[in-house]
Structures are given as structure tokens and as C-alpha cells.
């Protein structure tokens, strides 16, 4: 028997239908990998040609998703083997690391992208004057370090539930609640500003609103259930039974992230083509 069995605190329990798990994993892999590779190529070309903060953030978001998707077949083999790890042992921590870390990397980078988009629309002149790709690089490095520092607890306190539950609560606050709150603030105000601008066509407004709603949908459907299980587990002093289902939803995030990336929706466009001088700086440059 493998040293890694379904008895671990974060392993999928046998009460979860294995066909369901396999279906979610395979769907995520088949949809997520091609779309993320396309997004990666697009952002890489854009970053090489002309670096912008949002391009750098989107590139990092895509890289974190691709890491998980490349390793997801190992999880598929694990589930197909009756939730026993039969592959080389060194692959287990690597796979688990990106499997769980992807949730938090995505929430952090989506938050940063929402802030960039909001600042671009709310303060167009100041944004253009002070925009520096170095800020996005520093932010990306900070997020990678923050995610790595938090996910080390997966291996340190894996079997210490009394310690693990408070740590999960801290995950909820720092890596979900704060990013989600900031993202909501940015997109709600961004949509409010766009709707009030008279020189933007309805079609472009709808496109911008659609991208904002796609990001919020990603947070609510993919991130919220799993992170709420942290709070429920802390209150009940045990992990809720539905936690494993919530974890499956979080896996779908890698397939949905490209939906928040305009290269897969439409090319870069300008909001205003006949606006006053101040508004000429305002662009719908989501990417």
C-alpha cells in the first residue's frame, strides 16, 4: 500500500463518487490546458512587445494554472487507483502543492488585476503617468512568496487538526476574504463608472461588465465554498463532509480563469474614440 492513502485530512474520502471526481478532473484538464496555453502564448507575446502591469499579472495567473493542469493527470491516476498514490513518491508533495496553492494564487492575482482595471478607469491620467511594470513584477513575487509560505502548513500540520483548523481560518481571511472584498469593491465601482460614461457604446459596456461578472462568478463558485469550509470547520471543530465537493469546485477554477482574459473574448479596444482630452487616456485595455 502506498504511504499516501485516503486517510489524510485533505484527501478525497471514499464517500465521494470516484466517477464524479474523474469527470471533474478530466473536464478541467481537457478544457483548461488548451485555453491556458493559448492565454500564456498571448500574454507572453504581449509582455515581450510592450510590458504593462496587467499583462504581467495575467501571465503569472496563467502560469500558476498551467502548473496545476500539467500535474492534474497525476491526480487523475490517483483517483483511478482507488485514491492510493502509486506514482513516485517525490511527485506527491509537488502535485499537492500546486493543487492547493492554485486556489490562493488565483484569488490573489485576480484581486490585483481588478485593482489595476479599476485604477485605469477611475484615475486614467494618474494611472498612465505612474504606471510601472516593475510594480506588477514586485506584486507577483510577493504573491508567490505569500502563497508558498502559507501552503507549507499543508505538510507541517497535516495531522494536527487542532492546529490546522485555526490555520485554515487564517487562510480564509488573508487569502480569500480580503482579496474577494477588494475585488468586489473594484469591479462594482468600475461598472458604476462605465455605465455613467456617455461616450461608450452599449456593446463595449456589456463586454466590460461581462468580464467583471466572470471574475466574480469565479470567486463565488470556485473559491467561496472551499474557503467557507475553513470557517465551518473552525466553528464545528471538524472538517465538514461537503468540503471534498467544494474542493472539486475549486479545481474548475483553472478552466474558468481564461474567461477573465480578454484575448479569448475580444481584442484590445479603446473605450472612447471621440472623447474630451482627459477621457482620451481612458481605454478598455483589460489586457
Q: How far apart are CA 229 and CA 137, in angstroms?
A: 32
CB 139 within 8 A of CB 256: no
Dump pLDDT digits (tens) for 6-61: 444 445 555 468 888 899 999 999 999 999 999 999 899 989 988 889 999 999 99
Identify which of 108, 130, 111 has the alpha carbon closest to the alpha carbon of residue 120.
130
In whole angstroms, give the CA distance from residue 208 to residue 11.
39
Q: Binning pLDDT at 50, 70 and 90, where does residue 161 land?
A: low
pTM of the model: 0.83
pLDDT at 282 over 60: no
Per-residue H/E/C for 124-143: HHHHHHHCCHHHHHHHHHHH
Would you list the domain boundaries of the chain? 18-281
Q: What is the pLDDT of residue 44?
A: 92
Fold of 18-281: Rhopdopsin 7-helix transmembrane proteins (1.20.1070)
Angle at 263 between CA 186 and CA 248, to 5 degrees: 70
Residue pointed to by grid coordinates 484527501: 11
Length of the chain: 287
Measured CA to CA, the distance from residue 249 to residue 247 in angstroms comes to 5
Amino acid at each position: 500500500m502506498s504511504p499516501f492513502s485516503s486517510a489524510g485530512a485533505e484527501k478525497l474520502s471514499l464517500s465521494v463518487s470516484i466517477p464524479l471526481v474523474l469527470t471533474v478532473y478530466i473536464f478541467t484538464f481537457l478544457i483548461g490546458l488548451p485555453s491556458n496555453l493559448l492565454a500564456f502564448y498571448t500574454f507572453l507575446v504581449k509582455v515581450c512587445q510592450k510590458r504593462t502591469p496587467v499583462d504581467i499579472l495575467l501571465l503569472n495567473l496563467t502560469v500558476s494554472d498551467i502548473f496545476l493542469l500539467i500535474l492534474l493527470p497525476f491526480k487523475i491516476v490517483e483517483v483511478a487507483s482507488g485514491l492510493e498514490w502509486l506514482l513516485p513518491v517525490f511527485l506527491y508533495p509537488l502535485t499537492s502543492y500546486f493543487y492547493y496553492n492554485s486556489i490562493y494564487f488565483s484569488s490573489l492575482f485576480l484581486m490585483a488585476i481588478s485593482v489595476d482595471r479599476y485604477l485605469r478607469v477611475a484615475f486614467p491620467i494618474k494611472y498612465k503617468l505612474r504606471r510601472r511594470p516593475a510594480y506588477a513584477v514586485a506584486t507577483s513575487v510577493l504573491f508567490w512568496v505569500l502563497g508558498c509560505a502559507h501552503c507549507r502548513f499543508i505538510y507541517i500540520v497535516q495531522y494536527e487538526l487542532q492546529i490546522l483548523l485555526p490555520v485554515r481560518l487564517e487562510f480564509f481571511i488573508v487569502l480569500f476574504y480580503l482579496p474577494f472584498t477588494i475585488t468586489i469593491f473594484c469591479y462594482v465601482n468600475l461598472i458604476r463608472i462605465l455605465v455613467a460614461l456617455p461616450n461608450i457604446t452599449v456593446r463595449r459596456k456589456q463586454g466590460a461588465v461581462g468580464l467583471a461578472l466572470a471574475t466574480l462568478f469565479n470567486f463565488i463558485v470556485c473559491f467561496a465554498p472551499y474557503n467557507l469550509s475553513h470557517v465551518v470547520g473552525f466553528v464545528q471543530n471538524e472538517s465538514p463532509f461537503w468540503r471534498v465537493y467544494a474542493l472539486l469546485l475549486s479545481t474548475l477554477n483553472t478552466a474558468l480563469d481564461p474567461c477573465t482574459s480578454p484575448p479569448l473574448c475580444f481584442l484590445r479596444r479603446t473605450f472612447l474614440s471621440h472623447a474630451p482630452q482627459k477621457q482620451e487616456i481612458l481605454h478598455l485595455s483589460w489586457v
